[in-house]
Amino acid sequence: SQQGEEDPQALSIQEGENATMNCSYKTSINNLQWYRQNSGRGLVHLILIRSNEREKHSGRLRVTLDTSKKSSSLLITASRAADTASYFCATTSYGKLTFGQGTILTVHP
């Protein structure tokens, strides 16, 4: 397996529900970032959490980081149809940013 693995690979929910995606990694990191990608488009940086931080919020996004378990989670609260996209975690380690394979989130209206 590789650095930055997301779980689940695909998630389907109804509008208004919360969506939780998880990311696990293997090596020590400087920071962990979450990105969103709409179909066939570029990635959009959502949030960055440093290795000495445990939780961070941005609007409806909440990211947690557990360095002892080498894992992070992204929670999207009160999801909207417009949140439908692929979500990637990426870890920065020794100056290198490595992406996972992503979670495909579908939010049904």
**Using rule CB under 8 A, residue 44 touches other proteins:** yes
Is the separation of the CB atoms in 101 and 7 below 8 Å? no
Residue from 20, 30, 67, 77 in contact with other proteins (CB under 8 A): 30
**Using rule CB under 8 A, residue 99 touches other proteins:** yes
Q: Read off the amino acid at residue 83.
A: D
**Using rule CB under 8 A, residue 97 touches other proteins:** yes
Residues 6 or more apart in contact with residue 26 via CB below 8 angstroms: 1, 2, 3, 70
**Using rule CB under 8 A, residue 67 touches other proteins:** no
**Using rule CB under 8 A, residue 73 touches other proteins:** no
Residue placing its CB nearer to other proteins in the complex, 81 or 97: 97
Residue placing its CB nearer to other proteins in the complex, 84 or 91: 91
Count how many residues are written for the chain. Answer: 109
Joined together, the tokens standing for residue 11 give 């998630």
Q: How far is the CB of 98 from other proteins (least distance, A)?
A: 8
CA 40/CA 25 separation, integer angstroms: 26
CA 94, distance to chain mean position in Å, is: 20
Residues that bind other proteins (CB under 8 A): 2, 4, 30-31, 33, 35, 40-45, 48, 88, 90, 92, 94-102
